[in-house]
Structure 1
Amino acid sequence: MTTSRRNLLSRIVIYGILTIGAVIVCAPLWWMITTSVKPLADVFLFPPEIIPSRFRWDNYADVFRLLPFGRYFLNTLLIAVFAVAGSSFSSALVGYGFAKLRFPGSQALFMLMLGTIMIPYYTTLVPQFIMYRTFGWLNTYLPLIVPSFFGTPFYIFLYRQFFRNIPRDYNEAAIIDGCGYWRTFIRVILPMSIPVVNVVAIYAFNGVWNDFLGPLIYINSEKQRTIQLGINALRGLHTVEWGLLMAASVIALVPTVLIFFFLQRKMIQGVVVSGVKG
């Protein structure tokens, strides 16, 4: 067998495996999208219909008719904007301190901070609830927003690793020009860190947008529900309108997909412009 035939055969095998993997990964997404436009009677047909024979587009209209889904959408967007801004900036600030500033015990503090990643969220849930209740923050968005302004360990780790790859010459040049640590961070380091900022923003937005447990615990008012609580409200006690549920899920999925592709392009552009590898 010639080399060209071997290469052709290997490509066929590789692309075949990738195609099978892509079909397996995309099958649940395709089921969700098709179910969102099916009548309830067609959802559990066997064998299942890959392409619906009947389309019921009213499922999307019914989502907004039965619940104030637009308000839930805006509520979640409001929380996400503040939480993403808080997580991105505060984590960058702490990561900059660990990466560029030398002080006694910095390594020990960094290891201690990393250790908090291993603490399950559920172990701190009750103490946090008691604390927020004492503050009078229940049934407000403050428990969902304020913690993001104190940094997130995983995001701090990402920033620190990126900042460590930025040559110290930039810091020294800024100090020679009269910049202090704060101005160096704001005017020199942060603009060069657009790739990691976008990565953190993607993670933070997805985490807030898909959060169900936090709003379930702290939000009691129907008007203040988030989009995930709205989706859960479509589940009945005895029956589930799968078409409505999947239509609401598709609506909730659209912003995350759009933001991912938008920031993915920005992230690549940031790497090219800055010339710094994260």
Structure 2
Amino acid sequence: MKINDVQTKTVPNQNVSLSIGKRIKPTKVLLHVVLIIGAFLMVAPFLWTVSSSLKDMSQIFLIPPKWLPDPVTFQNYPNSLTAMPFDVAYFNSFYITFIVVVLNLLTCSMAAYAFAKIRFRGSNLLFILFLATMMIPKQVTMVPLYIIMDNLGWIDTHLSLIIPSGLFNAFGVFLLRQFIKGIPNELEEAAVIDGANPLRIYWSVILPLIRPALAAFGIFAFMGIWNGFLEPLIYLSSPEKFTVPLLLNTFKGLYFTDWSLMMAGTTISVIPVILVYIFAQRQIIEGIALTGSKS
């Protein structure tokens, strides 16, 4: 009886171990190892930035490099905030980003609704040409756009950052169009029967249904405008009009660069982007998924 009991107790354990062995495949283990290494490589520059922001200049370029600062210099953060007018730069970045995001959500959703639901001659060709602008590098349009801004008198003003970025975003139109195409036409037809015109259908029917896509695109637009460096560098010259990325560049001098203060300022500047990602990562993932669905 004892031998039988032992056998009946060991057989289930063997079955469990066999089932676990079947579930754990070497390819999955290798995939997870590669993903972990890739994730570390992606986050390593940010970790080095945070580490360098807590060092003094004598520790920045040590060979071999030291990840953990010794001693820890927290004074870099208040020094970086007082060395440059970060309060003005933060205000400029926030209000420029807010206006551009609102304009993008409005103009891109209207264009996406037109391309997705309103049939007119040449709509598909026009949409293809519209998407083709995504393949044009910014360097190609840099000089013509600067000439236009100069003729309008918008050089060294925030209008040069707000108007072009707020009124044109091919990626946003593509993203929202993919989502709007998945909305049943019956809802639109019911609104037409009730006497709604296209503008009323867009505002009362389409916009409430595409809120997830609007949230995802808004987050993408926020991160792109907040981190923008090239456009402010080209159009702005007055320090009181600088955005945060452009102000950080002023820490870099011709003969000397205070890397500790620059790293501290950089760490502070990415806090809004990190907070947006933490609280809206679901919408970001949905936005990435939407770009390849509902074609």
Give the aligned partner of residue 173 of structure 2.
Answer: 156
CA distance in structure 2 between the partners assigned to 1:115 and 1:17 by the alignment: 34
Q: Is the CA contact (8 Å cut-off) linking 1:139 and 1:219 kept in structure 2?
A: yes
Q: Which amino acid aligns with 1:67?
A: M
Q: Tell me whether 1:8 sits opposite 2:24 in the alignment.
A: yes
Q: Deviations over 1:168-211 (max 9, x none)?
A: 11111111222111111111111111121112112211111111
The offset of 1:136, in angstroms, is 1.2
3-state SS of 2:121 partner: coil
CA distance in structure 1 between the partners assigned to 2:286 and 2:141 by the alignment: 39
**Which range moves more in the overlay, 118-127 or 95-104?**
118-127
Give the aligned partner of residue 178 of structure 1.
Answer: 195
Q: Which amino acid aligns with 1:179?
A: A
3-state SS of 1:2 partner: helix
The offset of 1:119, in angstroms, is 1.7
CA distance in structure 1 between the partners assigned to 2:207 and 2:168 by the alignment: 16
The offset of 1:30, in angstroms, is 0.7
Q: Which amino acid aligns with 1:33?
A: V
The offset of 1:267, in angstroms, is 6.7
- How high is the TM-score relative to the length of structure 1? 0.91
Give the aligned partner of residue 273 of structure 1.
Answer: none
Q: Deviations over 1:220-273 (max 9, x none)?
A: 111011111111000121222111111111111111111122233467899xxx
**Against the structure 1 CA distance between its residues 112 and 18, is the aligned structure 2 distance closer, same or farther, given a 3 Å change threshold?**
closer
Paired residue total: 273
Give the aligned partner of residue 94 of structure 1.
Answer: 111
Q: Is the CA contact (8 Å cut-off) linking 1:194 and 1:267 kept in structure 2?
A: no
Give the aligned partner of residue 33 of structure 1.
Answer: 50
Q: Which amino acid aligns with 1:189?
A: I
CA distance in structure 1 between the partners assigned to 2:190 and 2:264 by the alignment: 54
Give the aligned partner of residue 211 of structure 1.
Answer: 228
The offset of 1:123, in angstroms, is 1.6
Q: Which structure: larger Rg?
A: 2
CA distance in structure 2 between the partners assigned to 1:149 and 1:43 by the alignment: 39
Q: Tell me whether 1:139 sits opposite 2:156 in the alignment.
A: yes
3-state SS of 2:24 partner: helix
Give the aligned partner of residue 244 of structure 1.
Answer: 261
**Against the structure 1 CA distance between its residues 68 and 269, is the aligned structure 2 distance closer, same or farther, given a 3 Å change threshold?**
same
CA distance in structure 1 between the partners assigned to 2:45 and 2:168 by the alignment: 34
The offset of 1:163, in angstroms, is 0.6
Q: Deviations over 1:105-139 (max 9, x none)?
A: 11111111111112221222212111111111111
* 1:36-115 matched pairs, under 5 angstroms: 36-115=53-132
CA distance in structure 2 between the partners assigned to 1:23 and 1:118 by the alignment: 30
CA distance in structure 1 between the partners assigned to 2:127 and 2:188 by the alignment: 21
The offset of 1:60, in angstroms, is 0.7
Q: Which amino acid aligns with 2:121?
A: P
- How high is the TM-score relative to the length of structure 2? 0.86
> Alignment RMSD, CA only?
2.2
Q: Is the CA contact (8 Å cut-off) linking 2:53 and 2:76 kept in structure 1?
A: yes
Q: Which runs of 5+ in 2 are unaligned?
A: 1-16, 288-292
CA distance in structure 1 between the partners assigned to 2:58 and 2:285 by the alignment: 46
Give the aligned partner of residue 290 of structure 2.
Answer: none
Give the aligned partner of residue 197 of structure 1.
Answer: 214
CA distance in structure 1 between the partners assigned to 2:116 and 2:172 by the alignment: 13
Give the aligned partner of residue 263 of structure 1.
Answer: 280
CA distance in structure 2 between the partners assigned to 1:20 and 1:268 by the alignment: 21
CA distance in structure 2 between the partners assigned to 1:77 and 1:236 by the alignment: 26
Q: Is the CA contact (8 Å cut-off) linking 2:49 and 2:267 kept in structure 1?
A: yes
Q: Which amino acid aligns with 2:44?
A: A
Q: Which runs of 5+ in 1 are unaligned?
A: 271-275
Give the aligned partner of residue 225 of structure 1.
Answer: 242
**Which range moves more in the overlay, 32-41 or 203-212?**
203-212
Q: Which amino acid aligns with 2:252?
A: R
